[in-house]
């Protein structure tokens, strides 16, 4: 009992003393633990921050290299598809190497591993030699040239050589070789703030330093991190060594500042990562939009072109290039006159372009003639509309062009078929007239023969002619002859449909009336017609309809004669002049000439040119020139032909002027 009493008496006296000691020890422990914990947390934070920063640098390097690979593959794809020439390809390689300092050598190889273009000037060390020297020891690269591969150089300056092949399905098309300056790659890609706090190194598999960036000195080997950079058939290490020493026991304010700075850095990384993702998404959407637009434009059969306010071509689609036979490179940037303008239509193009510049052009389409790269002319239908930017300001014009050659050909075929139907109808009518003429003339001719025989018998049977009987027979013969003549006149009236009517008329008025018909014939054959008509020509006394028919017949023959000649020579001229009449002194005649540059007239054809039923055409009747000469001679003139010195034939006819109208009227 005494022991318990002593124990119970001591405990209450020692407890108040022990509690402060425990509290002090706890406080000291807390004071010791808090800086240690803060140091540990700072160490962990620094290590984690270093890992995050190293991961960001790795992503930046990979992004830069992937961007180069994608851009170079696009260049190789343009070459393989034939979209660019070697000169343009070399210029693009030079420009790409100039804009990206980390790139040293660029070279493009074709399917036979032959060098096509590079950014190395002639006289310097060529890319294939330097590449082979750097990669000679790598068996994978030399044995598998058709696979993507990368190797490091063995030279004093560390370079990375890569080859990116291009395939279509399983077909090897081309490849691009590129050398990266690893030191420049680090300098260009690693941000300055990261290099101020860390030593960045690229190491090979043997831990040999290939490139290093240390803006703030060597690292302290306290906070380090390694990340593997994987390349085709090659792996490098990205080594980060922080320049920071172990954290000291700092005040909370400094710790808070470091935490805030770390949070700001993390926020900037997140913002940068988000910006990169948005940019990648925007590039992907833009790429899809461009592919969709290209697919849509390639599927069109309508030619499209865009011009600026000066008339310079700024865009053409593949259908327009295919229609003309010119590549887009030869059209983009061109100012009028355009290479697809036909020389004989230059005036029309310039007038139309002037109307566009002044804004007086109508929105509906118009027809004109274009010229292909091989010189062939073809008709097109063009619709123009203004190009307006997002501010509502006009920046140029957009045109849609339709090749209407097939439509014109169908219309011409329809017209020819209709002409054949009319010709067949006329032939059938002529056959019916001939049959009717034979039937109607048979009876009166038979009667004439009978009466003539009876008259002869009367004369033979009697020495003294029975005057009354003979007179009666001859009178009946006359009646039957008149009946036959009446039948012939009736058929003739039916065939010719009208009587010839001569009167005074002006040749200018006649030519103006037939110009639309001549233009209609020449337009379908792409023939340019020129007129040379003297002013104040005298009047002509004759049948205007017959002269019109002569001119139309001669122009149609001229057009058909130039069907197979080159487009540049398809020129037809119509002249009208006053000349002295060689047959009548002090008299004048009107000379009309139809001049073509066709195949000419062969000597064997010239002998029978004006003969009836002679024709060199498979469907011709051989009556055209014969009728023309008859009509001209009917007017007191003459129809002749001669060879054209420039090639082709000159058909010309003369008509007496109004001074001879009284003589003709008497005839």
Report the half-sphere exposure of 387 (CA within 13 A, side-chain side).
Answer: 17
Pick from 149-163, 428-442, 448-462: least confident: 428-442
Pick from 267-271, 320-324, 563-567, 636-640: least confident: 267-271
Asked whether residue 325 falls in the same domain as residue 338, the answer is: yes
Six token digits for residue 45: 């934070």
Asked whether residue 293 falls in the same domain as residue 306, the answer is: no
Rounded distance, CA 315 to CA 398, Å?
A: 9
Domain final residue pick, 446, 462, 496 = 496
Rounded distance, CA 221 to CA 494, Å?
A: 120
In terms of C-beta distances under 8 Å and separation of at least 24 residues, what long-range contacts does 206-215 make, across chains too? 207/237, 210/152, 210/158, 210/182, 210/236, 211/158, 211/182, 211/183, 211/185, 211/186, 212/183, 212/186, 213/183, 213/186, 213/187, 214/243
Give pLDDT, residue 631: 79
Per residue in 239-296, pLDDT (tens digit) is 898 888 776 655 555 555 555 666 666 677 778 888 888 888 898 888 888 888 777 7
At residue 379, φ and ψ (nearest 5 deg) are: -80, 145
Residue with tokens 């469907």: 619
Report the half-sphere exposure of 443 (CA within 13 A, side-chain side).
Answer: 6
Per residue in 474-507, pLDDT (tens digit) is 676 776 666 566 555 544 544 454 445 678 888 8
Domain final residue pick, 352, 376, 402 = 402
Q: Check whether 69 has a pLDDT greater than 80.
A: yes
Q: Check whether 456 has a pLDDT greater than 80.
A: no
Report the half-sphere exposure of 93 (CA within 13 A, side-chain side).
Answer: 28
Average pLDDT over residues 136-151: 59
Asked whether residue 107 falls in the same domain as residue 207, the answer is: yes
Give pLDDT, residue 353: 77
Asked whether residue 261 falls in the same domain as residue 347, the answer is: no
Q: Check whether 123 has a pLDDT greater than 70.
A: no
Whole-angstrom CA distances from 657 to 447, 506, 546, 578, 664 are 48, 10, 16, 9, 11
Pick from 11-25, 151-165, 446-460: least confident: 11-25
- β-sheet bridge partners, residue 580: 588
Average pLDDT over residues 191-216: 85
Task: Detail the DSSP E strand segments found in 544-630.
Answer: 571-580, 588-595
- The closest of 502, 493, 558 to 530, measured between CA atoms, is 558
Q: Are 211 and 185 in contact (CB under 8 A)?
A: yes
3-state SS, residue 270: helix
Asked whether residue 413 falls in the same domain as residue 320, the answer is: no
- The closest of 180, 239, 159 to 207, measured between CA atoms, is 239
Give pLDDT, residue 575: 94
Q: Check whether 17 has a pLDDT greater than 60.
A: no
Query: For position 339, which CATH number holds?
Result: 3.30.450.20
Sign of CA dihedral 202, 207, 210, 211: positive
Domain final residue pick, 374, 402, 430 = 402
How far is C-alpha 312 from the chain's CA centre? Answer: 15
Pick from 41-50, 430-439, 587-596, 648-657: least confident: 430-439
Asked whether residue 280 falls in the same domain as residue 166, the answer is: no
Domain tally, the chain: 5
Per residue in 625-634, pLDDT (tens digit) is 777 787 788 8
Average of per-residue pLDDT values in the chain: 76
How far is C-alpha 31 from the chain's CA centre? Answer: 82
Give pLDDT, residue 7: 44
Per residue in 507-531, pLDDT (tens digit) is 888 888 778 778 767 877 788 899 9
- The closest of 620, 639, 646 to 557, measured between CA atoms, is 620
Q: Cα Rg for the chain, rounded, in angstroms?
A: 51
Query: For position 539, which CATH number holds?
Result: 3.30.565.10
Asked whether residue 231 falls in the same domain as residue 288, the answer is: no
Average pLDDT over residues 179-203: 86
Asked whether residue 331 falls in the same domain as residue 182, the answer is: no
Asked whether residue 293 falls in the same domain as residue 236, the answer is: no
Rounded distance, CA 9 to CA 5, Å?
A: 6
Q: Check whether 593 has a pLDDT greater than 90.
A: yes
Asked whether residue 113 falls in the same domain as residue 236, the answer is: yes
Give pLDDT, residue 521: 74
Asked whether residue 62 falls in the same domain as residue 186, the answer is: yes
Asked whether residue 517 falls in the same domain as residue 634, the answer is: yes
Give pLDDT, residue 419: 55
Pick from 13-22, 143-152, 381-390, 622-631: least confident: 13-22
Residue with tokens 């934070």: 45
At residue 218, φ and ψ (nearest 5 deg) are: -70, 155
Give pLDDT, residue 493: 43
Provide the residue range defining the domain that includes 396. Answer: 300-402
Share of the chain above pLDDT 90, in %: 3
């Amino acid at each position: 009992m005494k022991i318990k009493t002593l124990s119970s008496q001591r405990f209450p006296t020692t407890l108040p003393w022990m509690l402060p000691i425990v509290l002090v020890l706890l406080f000291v422990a807390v004071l010791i633990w808090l800086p240690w914990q803060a140091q540990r947390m700072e160490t962990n934070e620094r290590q984690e921050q270093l890992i995050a920063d190293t991961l960001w640098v790795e992503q930046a390097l990979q992004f830069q290299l992937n961007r180069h690979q994608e851009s170079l593959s696009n260049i190789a794809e343009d070459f393989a598809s034939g979209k660019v020439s070697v000169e343009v390809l070399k210029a693009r390689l030079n420009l790409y190497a100039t804009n990206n300092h980390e790139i040293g050598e660029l070279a493009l190889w074709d399917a036979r591993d032959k060098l096509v273009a590079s950014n190395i000037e002639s006289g310097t060390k060529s890319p294939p030699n330097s590449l082979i020297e750097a990669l000679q020891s790598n068996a994978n690269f030399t044995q598998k040239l058709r696979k993507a591969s990368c190797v490091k150089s063995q030279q004093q300056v560390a370079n990375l050589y890569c080859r990116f092949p291009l395939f279509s399905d399983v077909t090897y098309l081309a490849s691009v070789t590129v050398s990266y300056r690893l030191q420049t790659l680090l300098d260009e890609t690693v941000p300055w703030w990261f290099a101020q706090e860390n030593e960045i190194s690229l190491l090979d598999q043997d831990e040999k330093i290939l490139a290093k960036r240390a803006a703030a000195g060597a690292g302290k080997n306290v906070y380090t991190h390694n990340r593997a950079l994987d390349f085709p058939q090659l792996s490098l290490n990205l080594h980060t060594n922080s320049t920071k020493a172990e954290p000291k026991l700092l005040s909370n304010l400094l710790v808070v500042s470091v935490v805030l700075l770390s949070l700001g850095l993390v926020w900037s990384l997140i913002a940068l990562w988000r910006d990169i993702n948005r940019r990648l998404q925007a590039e992907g959407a833009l790429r899809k939009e461009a592919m969709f637009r290209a697919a849509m434009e390639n599927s069109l059969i309508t030619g499209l072109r865009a011009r600026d306010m000066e008339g310079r071509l700024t865009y053409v689609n593949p259908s327009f290039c295919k229609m003309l036979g010119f590549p887009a490179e030869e059209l983009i940037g061109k100012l009028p006159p355009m290479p697809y303008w036909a020389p004989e239509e230059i005036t029309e193009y310039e007038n139309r372009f002037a109307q566009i510049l002044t804004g007086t052009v109508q929105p509906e389409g118009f027809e004109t003639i274009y010229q292909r790269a091989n010189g062939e002319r073809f008709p097109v239908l063009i619709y123009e509309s203004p190009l307006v930017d997002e501010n509502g300001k006009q920046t140029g014009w957009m045109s849609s062009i339709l090749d209407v050659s097939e439509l014109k050909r169908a219309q011409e075929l329809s017209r020819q078929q209709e002409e054949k139907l009319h010709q067949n109808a006329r032939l059938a009518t002529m056959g019916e007239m001939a049959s009717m003429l034979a039937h109607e003339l048979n009876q009166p001719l038979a009667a004439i023969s009978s009466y003539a025989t009876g008259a002869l018998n009367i004369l033979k049977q009697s020495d003294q002619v029975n005057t009354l009987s003979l007179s009666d027979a001859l009178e009946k013969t006359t009646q039957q002859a008149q009946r036959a003549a009446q039948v012939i006149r009736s058929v003739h009236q039916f065939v010719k449909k009208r009587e010839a009517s001569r009167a005074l008329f002006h040749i200018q008025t006649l030519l103006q009336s037939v110009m639309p018909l001549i233009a209609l014939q020449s337009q379908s054959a792409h023939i340019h017609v020129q007129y040379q008509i003297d002013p104040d020509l005298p009047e002509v006394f004759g049948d205007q309809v017959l002269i019109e028919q002569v001119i139309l017949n001669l122009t149609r023959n001229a057009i058909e004669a130039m069907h197979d000649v080159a487009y540049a020579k398809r020129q037809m001229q119509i002249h009208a002049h006053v000349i002295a009449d060689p047959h009548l002194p002090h008299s004048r005649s009107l000379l009309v000439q139809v001049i073509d540059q066709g195949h000419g007239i062969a000597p064997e054809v010239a002998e029978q040119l004006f003969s009836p039923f002679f024709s060199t055409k498979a469907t011709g009747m051989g009556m055209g020139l014969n009728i023309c000469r008859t009509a001209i001679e009917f007017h007191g003139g003459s129809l002749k032909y001669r060879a054209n010195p420039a090639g082709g034939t000159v058909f010309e006819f003369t008509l007496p002027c109004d001074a001879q109208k009284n003589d003709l009227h008497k005839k």
